[in-house]
Amino acid sequence: MILCAGENLIDMIQTAEAGGSAPEFRALIGGSPYNTARALGRLRAPVGYITPLSTDRMGALLAAALEGDGVALLGGRSDRPSSLALVALENGQPRYQFYRDGVADRDISLDALRAALPADAAALHLGSLALIGGPDADALEDLARHAKDRGMMLSLDPNIRPALMDGGGAAYRARLDRLLALADVVKLSDEDLAWIAPGAAPETAAQALFDTARPALLVLTRGAEGALALFGEGRVACPAAPVPEVIDTVGAGDTFMAALLDGLRGAGVLVPGGLDALTADTVRALIARAARAAAITCARSGCNPPTLAELDAAP
Query: Three-class SS of residue 311?
Result: helix
Name the residue among 36, 292, 71 with its Cα closest to residue 159: 36
β-sheet with 123-127: strand ranges across = 72-73, 47-49, 2-5, 123-127, 153-157, 185-189, 217-221, 227-231, 234-238
Report the predicted TM-score, pTM, of the whole model to 2 decimal places: 0.94
36 contacts 80 by C-beta, under 8 angstroms: no
Q: Mind listing the pLDDT tens digit for each residue in 41-84?
A: 999 999 999 999 999 999 999 999 999 999 999 999 999 999 99
Q: Flag whether pLDDT at 17 surpasses 70.
A: no
Q: What is the mean pLDDT of the chain?
A: 92
| Radius of gyration from C-alpha coordinates of the chain | 18
Q: What is the pLDDT of residue 91?
A: 60
Q: Mind listing the pLDDT tens digit for each residue in 229-259?
A: 999 978 999 998 888 888 877 889 999 999 9
- Per mean pLDDT, which range of 23-27, 148-152, 174-178, 261-265 is the poorest? 23-27
276 contacts 216 by C-beta, under 8 angstroms: yes
With cut-offs at 50, 70 and 90, classify the pLDDT of residue 201: very high
Determine what percent of the chain is predicted with pLDDT higher than 90: 78
Enumerate domains of the chain plus CATH numbers.
2-6+31-81+102-313 (3.40.1190.20)
Q: Mind listing the pLDDT tens digit for each residue in 127-177?
A: 999 999 999 999 999 999 999 999 999 999 999 988 788 767 999 999 999
Q: What is the pLDDT of residue 37?
A: 98
In whole angstroms, give the CA distance from residue 218 to residue 242.
23
Q: Mind listing the pLDDT tens digit for each residue in 281-309?
A: 999 999 999 999 999 998 888 789 999 99
300 contacts 262 by C-beta, under 8 angstroms: no
In whole angstroms, give the CA distance from residue 101 to residue 83.
8
Neighbours of 162 (CB within 10 A): 13
